[in-house]
Structure 1
Amino acid sequence: MNARPNVLWICTDSQRWDTLGCYGNGWVATPNLDRLAAGGVRFANAFSQSPLCTPSRGSFLTGRYPVTNRLRQNGQECPPDLRPVTRDLADAGYACGLVGKLHLNPCDRRLALGPDWWKSDKRDWFRGAEPRLDDGYSVFEWDHAAKSEDPASAYGRWLRGRGVSVPLEKPPREDCGSVRVGPSVENHQSTWGCERAMTFVESYADDPHPWLLSLNLFDPHFPFDPPPELLDRHLDRLDDIPLPVDADREPATHPAWRRRWAERDAGRSEREHRLVRAAYWAMIDLLDAQVGRLLDTLDRTGQREDTLVIFTSDHGEMLGDHGLYKKGPALYEPAVHVPLILSQPETLPAGEVVDELVELSDLVPTLRERCGLEPGAAVQGRSLAPLLGGDGDGGDGPWRDSVYAEYLNANPDEPPVYLTMLRTRDAKLIRCHGGEGSALFDLAADPHEQRNLWADPGSAARKTDMLLRLTDRQARTADPLPRRVGVF
């Protein structure tokens, strides 16, 4: 067994926490990821630091908060000095590869075309793979979105090699325009990604150096486009699928800055809500089957015990809860609560469930410790190592008393929206800076966040306490760099 583990880091896109059998979802078919959790450590309360891709990915690849990274928006040019942990691992002798998304830089240039960009030729929006940093990846098989519009898409090249026309046509279903008719299992992006990952794993089976593979799959991100053959299983019981929480919430009950988003998703029938949920779960079924093939490859090549497997997602998906779909200026549980599983047989305990509050920013310090690197002066997260010892906790008292997330003009909203969140074991405060829409929820009594206590006189003391704790967390997002070298 290698002293330093290989790392298979699987990150899906827009997968909320309650989408696996091991997290209590009885509708999905996830035997492989459930098996991964049964053989490893499952975190019941893991949270992303942003409900959008780029800020979250920059955060969990560095162990720093989005605002600290100066990478807090989708479509924003990444600061050139951002240093992903993969760069440090490559410098320490790891062979690092990427399959799928990176999304630390803009993946289109449409806003640079001016205010009438939407009138331009769509081919002008995409001009090759996103600009790369000094990211440490020696293998880079990039694909951003599952239609493969960009000629630089490795998935698109794979499809062309199979005789499939690109970009993929994904027509809407006649009975629900929000659900698309996706490609077959053998041509789906998750299948491509896992097959390329299998080739990577096989290629390094006899290599004496450790490796890290970032497998960043696009599913279950919208458009909701599962293979028809996987959706059929859910259609057979469509009428039994539960409706979203508060699915018929009136747009007018949302703050003004979120109303346009809510209006876009208003007016769906119960059948449409259920169809979208069925399509989303079918995409989870696809993910599980393909990840299972990859885990089998680790076993077949004799690398399973030498490999730390991480499974998580960059953020969640509203999926109709609160009358909202997709992602945007919202820090509700479905948007930021994500699955997190760590597994390495003979090294990590099996069947452990950690109930402590953890952040995705904690993954980098955990990797640095596991892979023999120094903690890193720039890192703000905390290593999960104390929670991986087999007792499921980090000692006396809570390991974290809160988690923090932010949405700082992360989408090109008009007007810009700035939100911060503090979430404790039993409460959540969401502060809307500069406008209406702040919220306080008693999660113990109201786990679905349906009763906003912000203006409740009986909750005033709790609100004050949570506001003070939020400002404490915000203060600690200050950049620890440059390091202090003198007294004055």
Structure 2
Amino acid sequence: MRESTLQQPNIIVFFTDQQRWDTTGVHGNPLGLTPNLDRMAVEGTHLYNSFTSQPVCGPARSCLQTGLYATSTGSYRNGIPLAHEHRTLAHYFKDAGYKTGYIGKWHLSKHEPVPVEDRGGYDEWLASNLLELSSDAYQTMLYDNDGQEVHLPGYRVDALTDAAIRYIDRCRKDPFFLFISYLEPHHQNHSDNYPAPVGYEGKYIDRWTPPDLRALGGSSAQHLGGYYGMVKRLDEALGRLMDTLISLKLSDNTIILFTSDHGCHFKTRNGEYKRSAHESSIRVPSALYGPGFMGGGQIRKLVSLVDLPPTLLDAAGIQVPAHMQGRSVLPLVRGASSDWPDEAYVQISETQIGRAIRTERWKYAVAAPGKNGWEEAHSDVYVEELLYDLYSDPYELDNLAGIEAYRHIADDLKERLLKKMKEINEPTAIIEPAARVVGYRRPELRMS
């Protein structure tokens, strides 16, 4: 039994950065990188089809903190702080009597260190707005509640995990909500490299390459070894946290959410690592473990990042605010799936003003012609850009947009996309068809 007699479950969010879904064993990766996450998914609840609602750091974080899409939070691209009017998970849990703590990368302020008013309501703070700039793999520097520099020893994943373990031990007598935001397996910006712990990268060089990267190349040959090494260390950190809960007798009353902000396409779909509608960019690993989620099995319904905040509140017995645009997955865990949406909706900024819809079988994406995704959040006109049949082409190598034989499919998806845009109060827009392609195949392998 746990030491505290309180019935409110503790909540831990284990949040990684830029982690592809297929780095995990439960998604078929053969390298044994994630035994702890795999066990968590098998024994708890595995959100098999889990997607970001915006494949870039800041906007995705605004979605996970608020349960709103990025255009609703206003943080539709990097560099736009989360407005103080928005209530975050920390506010809701604090109101319910929880201690709240945040460790790691924030990316929702314009300031470093992050001032108190920009911290989303979290009580205890050990974080950096841009962890990729304030630290390196073996030089971790964060800021504390007073805005003072804190230098932590060890590899960065371990440094954050050590801090999280100290927090859990210190707060174990009361219900707590702890958000741990790792930088890994994101690249180190100043070196454009994926620095794994010493000795880890060499284990995974030229071991296994996902089919999309085998076909398209990009920077995967250079970076996959380090990337996989970072994923391995993250999973070891997850195991340490789970061991901590066991040793402190908290494991039977603590919910763990594992998820990531977006994936990584290794410069295959555009000139960097994400910011596209492809699976490699938008699909992420997600699992839930603990009270209410044990034995939940593999959920195949499509789940979005905006669904996770209401899920955590629901699991803690806290009323889900009506304005949240996501919905709790607890009914899915309990077998009630009849009214669950049949699609995931994605907004894209910075590289373009883009919108996409992903169903069980199809991917359909549009982009605003001639518009900059940094300067504007919306467009009144979009043009069809991508159409993939994920049953026959799961790695999205054959773009069907504009092929006349698929016009009826594209028309149906267009209406579904417009309906979703309307549901979340986006401005009215029109979608123009892709340029017509004669025959059954586009001349290019992929969109540039």
TM range (shorter): 0.7 to 0.9
Q: For 2:270 and 2:77, locate their aligned partners in 1 and report how far apart those are by CA, in whole Å.
A: 24
Deviations 1:233-264 (A, max 9, x none): 224xx2x4336526675xxxxxxxxxxxxxxx
1:228 aligns with: 198
Q: Would the aligned equivalents of 1:106 and 1:130 in 2 still touch at CA under 8 Å?
A: no
Q: Would the aligned equivalents of 2:141 and 2:150 in 1 still touch at CA under 8 Å?
A: no
Q: For 1:321 and 1:401, locate their aligned partners in 2 and report how far apart those are by CA, in whole Å.
A: 28
Q: Would the aligned equivalents of 2:74 and 2:80 in 1 still touch at CA under 8 Å?
A: no
Deviations 1:86-140 (A, max 9, x none): 1121122110000101222235xxxxxxxxxxxxxxxxxxx43367436221110
Instruction: Point out where structure 1 has 5 or more consecutive residues left out of the alignment.
Output: 108-126, 163-186, 250-264, 480-488
Q: Would the aligned equivalents of 1:243 and 1:274 in 2 still touch at CA under 8 Å?
A: no
2:48 aligns with: 44
Q: For 1:52 and 1:80, locate their aligned partners in 2 and report how far apart those are by CA, in whole Å.
A: 21
Q: Would the aligned equivalents of 1:13 and 1:313 in 2 still touch at CA under 8 Å?
A: yes
Q: Would the aligned equivalents of 2:257 and 2:288 in 1 still touch at CA under 8 Å?
A: yes
| Pairwise CA distance, 1:321 | 4.4
Q: 1:131 to 1:211 in 2, by over 3 A?
A: closer
Q: Would the aligned equivalents of 1:100 and 1:216 in 2 still touch at CA under 8 Å?
A: yes
2:118 aligns with: 133
- Counterpart amino acid of 1:215? I
Q: 1:386 to 1:281 in 2, by over 3 A?
A: same
Q: 1:228 to 1:323 in 2, by over 3 A?
A: farther
Q: Would the aligned equivalents of 1:52 and 1:327 in 2 still touch at CA under 8 Å?
A: yes
Deviations 1:338-362 (A, max 9, x none): 11110005x4233611111111111
User: 3-state SS of the aligned residue for 2:200?
Assistant: helix
Q: For 2:313 and 2:329, locate their aligned partners in 1 and report how far apart those are by CA, in whole Å.
A: 11
1:64 aligns with: 68
Deviations 1:354-382 (A, max 9, x none): 11111111111112222222221321111
Q: For 1:246 and 1:214, locate their aligned partners in 2 and report how far apart those are by CA, in whole Å.
A: 32
TM-score, normalised with respect to structure 2: 0.83
Q: For 1:365 and 1:243, locate their aligned partners in 2 and report how far apart those are by CA, in whole Å.
A: 33
Give the superposed CA RMSD: 2.5
- Counterpart amino acid of 1:431? V
2:387 aligns with: 440
Q: For 1:402 and 1:66, locate their aligned partners in 2 and report how far apart those are by CA, in whole Å.
A: 18
1:117 aligns with: none
Deviations 1:175-199 (A, max 9, x none): xxxxxxxxxxxx2111011110000
Q: 1:152 to 1:31 in 2, by over 3 A?
A: closer
1:214 aligns with: 179
Pairing 1:74–2:78 present: yes
1:343 pairs with 289, 298, 302, which one? 289
User: 3-state SS of the aligned residue for 1:283?
Assistant: helix
- Counterpart amino acid of 2:195? D
Deviations 1:44-89 (A, max 9, x none): 1011100001111111111111111111010113322121121121
Task: Tell me the percent identity.
Answer: 28
Pairing 1:198–2:184 present: no
Pairing 1:404–2:345 present: yes
- Counterpart amino acid of 1:297? T
Alignment of 1:95-106 (within 5 A): 95-106=99-110
Alignment of 1:34-433 (within 5 A): 34-106=38-110, 127-129=112-114, 132-133=117-118, 135-143=120-128, 144-146=130-132, 148=134, 153-154=142-143, 157-159=149-151, 162=153, 187-205=154-172, 207=173, 209-223=174-188, 224-235=194-205, 238=206, 240-242=207-209, 245=212, 249=216, 273-322=220-269, 325-328=272-275, 330-344=276-290, 347-350=292-295, 352-389=297-334, 393-396=335-338, 399-407=340-348, 410-411=349-350, 413=351, 417-433=352-368
User: 3-state SS of the aligned residue for 1:405?
Assistant: strand
1:165 aligns with: none
Q: Would the aligned equivalents of 1:41 and 1:353 in 2 still touch at CA under 8 Å?
A: yes
Q: 1:373 to 1:66 in 2, by over 3 A?
A: same
Deviations 1:200-233 (A, max 9, x none): 111122x2x3110000000000131101211122
Q: For 1:285 and 1:9, locate their aligned partners in 2 and report how far apart those are by CA, in whole Å.
A: 18
Q: Would the aligned equivalents of 1:234 and 1:282 in 2 still touch at CA under 8 Å?
A: yes
Q: For 2:269 and 2:120, locate their aligned partners in 1 and report how far apart those are by CA, in whole Å.
A: 38
Q: For 2:64 and 2:51, locate their aligned partners in 1 and report how far apart those are by CA, in whole Å.
A: 11
- Counterpart amino acid of 1:135? G
Q: For 2:132 and 2:269, locate their aligned partners in 1 and report how far apart those are by CA, in whole Å.
A: 27
Q: 1:331 to 1:339 in 2, by over 3 A?
A: same
Q: 1:227 to 1:147 in 2, by over 3 A?
A: farther
Instruction: Point out where structure 2 has 5 or more consecutive residues left out of the alignment.
Output: 189-193, 371-382, 427-448
1:456 pairs with 403, 410, 421, which one? 403
| Pairwise CA distance, 1:21 | 1.3
- Counterpart amino acid of 2:391? A
TM-score, normalised with respect to structure 1: 0.76
Q: For 1:288 and 1:132, locate their aligned partners in 2 and report how far apart those are by CA, in whole Å.
A: 33
Q: Would the aligned equivalents of 1:94 and 1:212 in 2 still touch at CA under 8 Å?
A: yes
1:11 aligns with: 15
- Counterpart amino acid of 1:465? D
Q: 1:367 to 1:285 in 2, by over 3 A?
A: same
1:180 aligns with: none
| Pairwise CA distance, 1:322 | 4.3
- Counterpart amino acid of 1:401? D
Q: 1:191 to 1:146 in 2, by over 3 A?
A: farther
Q: For 1:147 and 1:188, locate their aligned partners in 2 and report how far apart those are by CA, in whole Å.
A: 15
Q: For 2:215 and 2:399, locate their aligned partners in 1 and report how far apart those are by CA, in whole Å.
A: 17
Q: 1:130 to 1:454 in 2, by over 3 A?
A: farther
Q: 1:243 to 1:394 in 2, by over 3 A?
A: closer
The more displaced of 303-312 and 68-77 is 68-77
